[in-house]
Amino acid sequence: MVRKRVESRSASHDSGAIRAAAVALLARRDYLTAELQRRLEARGFDPAAAAAVIAELAAERLLEDERFVERFVASRAERGQGPLRIALDLRSQGASEALIEAAIQAGPDWGAVAREVRRRKFGPESPGSWPEKARQARFLQYRGFSSDHIRAATGADFEDPRT
């Protein structure tokens, strides 16, 4: 991908050029505020001028972190990812903890998502043996589901049966 660089110092402070670049990025997909700021700075725009344009876009509701986080959670849940992995991805992109927590709580029934992911991967029958339960649990754990969701999906109680 070829990155466009701002050629002159005066262009790096031009709010019109910054806005045009930001709107062009937003036309392709939604961004978090912090992510859009990083993208604009990588293109050579002045950080303070870019922050001012981003504030304008947020005031016009062209850029909303809440909307981005909600859509991100919904799309990743549809792909079969769990709340722990989704939250980790959102943190790496710069979303706030409050937004992440609210979107995860408002998201789908994570136990049902885990059951559906397990069913698609391993079939409708519940795992019969402990090694198979463990294998399915590792898969769901990798996908980002908590132990409660994994137990609900596999029908397994992973506590020591001897106690």
Are both 101 and 115 inside the same structural domain? no
Please indicate, yes or no, if residue 2 is contained in any of the structural domains: no
Other residues' Cβ atoms within 10 Å of the Cβ of residue 59:
9
User: pTM of the full predicted structure?
Assistant: 0.80
Q: Tell me the pLDDT band of 13, cut-offs 50, 70 and 90.
A: confident
User: Are 16 and 53 found together in one domain?
Assistant: yes
Contacting residues for 141 by C-beta, under 8 A, at least 6 apart: 147, 150
In a domain? residue 38: yes
Instruction: Please give the backbone phi and psi of residue 15, each rounded to the nearest 5 degrees, phi first.
Output: -65, -30
| Residue matched to tokens 């019969």 | 128
In angstroms, the Cα distances linking 161 to 42, 141, 147, 156, 157 are 56, 21, 17, 11, 9
Q: What is the mean pLDDT of the chain?
A: 88
Angle subtended at Cα 65 by Cα 62 and Cα 68, rounded to the nearest 5 degrees: 85
Q: Is residue 163 over pLDDT 70?
A: no
Residue 3 lies in a domain: no
For residues 141 and 123, state if they share a domain: yes
CATH number of the domain within which 126 lies: 1.10.10.10
Structural domain that includes position 69: 65-106
> Structurally, how many domains does the chain consist of?
3
Do residues 131 and 91 share a domain? no
Which CATH number characterizes residue 81's domain? Answer: 1.10.10
Taking only the tens place, the pLDDT of each residue in 15-59 is: 899 999 999 999 999 999 999 999 999 999 999 999 999 999 999
- Give dist(CA 43, CA 7) in Å, integer: 10
